[in-house]
Amino acid sequence: MIAAPLVALALAGIAAASPAVPPQPKAKNPQCNFWANVRDRFINEIFLGVCAQDVHSMVRISFHDAIGFSLHSEKGGGADGSMIKFQDVELKFPANEGVDFIVSFLQPFADDLGISYGDAIMFGTAVGMSLCPGAPRLPAFVGRPDATRAAPDKTVPEPQDDLTTIFARMADAGFTPTELVHLLASHSMASQAGVDPSPDLLGAPFDSTPFDFDSQVFLEVMLRADSFPAGGSGPNLGEDKSPLPGEFRLLSDRLFARDSRTSCAWQENALNQTAMASNFAAAFKKLSLLGQNQAKLLDCSELIGTPPPAKNKQAFFPAGTNHDLIEQACATQLFPTTLSTVAGRATPIPVVQLQDCPTCPTFKRRA
């Protein structure tokens, strides 16, 4: 009952024609009227009305851009769009490999609208996530000034980093290990780019439901694994074995799921879709305001539509897996035996195809 629609969706990739997007909320605050047009253009021109690769790319750049920030030393300016403004610098950093794809859309799009790059990233992420089944409604603040400096290298944690180093970097930006796990709910729609350079694995997803914001990635990372994806060059730096054919696992994700500092938060996300979504929304709000004075921003969250409901209310064991493969790490709660299991043999998970943006015109770059 679960497997058929999942396989059909995966094989279809993104729809050939954009589905009908539900009517979007109208602005109550007249100051947000302009941003209603920005929202509609994001939906129609960037995301093409679907929750697909461009939405995940927005979520990824929102983290990579904002986390270049420090509470204790001079780094970047936080959620300020420096990833776009200073792309000649920041896109050369190894951790930002693959971000150039969404930058190539966002930079001319923001320039045409006359909005800051920081607003394009954070407002656009909130809009994109509203198209994704199971996602929370994200806050949308606007009015960020342009970035004045590039963030330095090594501000974005990488999957090969040891956890103590990652936790220290996140603490320097103001996030606890638990809040980091909450942000990692974004991996429910993620796919790899650059960890394995093999062309066949570009877009290999992190879980079996890459077009849904759901708990599957947290459950599937807890499964015992014994092989690297076929067609790839694994093991690669930052890569771990994966439990399903075609699925890609980051080394850091496996460690988060099994480390005493984060294993219980990880398991909670695996077992509670509602809590996972709510926790992500809170962590994203904090991320979106890094380096900003909230009192000087305009809250246009009222413009963000309600995302479609989650397709599955609870995570499940994909075909070819079962509860016996769970590697229990949380010391305070056993993983339950009540989750459903899809019958049959494991089915290879196709890569997530990059979205083109045929409706994105080419604009002159803002000076």
78 annotated as ligand-binding: yes
Which residue carries 């990739």 as its tokens? Answer: 13
3-class secondary structure for the chain? CCHHHHHHHHHHCCCCCCCCCCCCCCCCCHHHHHHHHHHHHHHHHHCCCCCCHHHHHHHHHHHHHHCCCCCCCCCCCCCCCHHHHCHHHHCCCHHHCCCHHHHHHHHHHHHHHCCCHHHHHHHHHHHHHCCCCCCCCCCCEECCCCCCCCCCCCCCCCCCCCHHHHHHHHHHCCCCHHHHHHHHHHHHHCECCCCCCCHHHCCCECCCCCCCCCCHHHHHHCECCCECCCCCCCCCCCEECECCCCCCEEHHHHHHHHCCCCHHHHHHHHHCHHHHHHHHHHHHHHHHCCCCCHHHCEECHHHCCCCCCCCCCCCCECCCCCHHHECCCCCCCCCCCCCCECCCCCCCCCCCCCCCCCCCCCCCCCC
In the chain, the N- to C-terminal Cα span, in Å, equals 54
Distance CA 81, CA 109 (A): 13
> CA separation (Å) from 112 to 54, 105, 106, 144, 226?
19, 11, 10, 17, 49
82 annotated as ligand-binding: yes
Question: Can you read off the two tokens belonging to residue 328?
Answer: 């229990």
187 annotated as ligand-binding: yes
CB distance 322 to 341 below 8 Å:
yes
80 annotated as ligand-binding: yes
Active site residues: 64
CB distance 118 to 61 below 8 Å:
no
209 annotated as ligand-binding: yes
214 annotated as ligand-binding: yes
Which residue carries 């962590």 as its tokens? Answer: 283
Which residue carries 């509670």 as its tokens? Answer: 272
Annotated binding-site positions for heme b: 187
Annotated binding-site positions: 65, 78, 80, 82, 187-188, 207, 209, 214
Annotated binding-site positions for Ca(2+): 65, 78, 80, 82, 188, 207, 209, 214
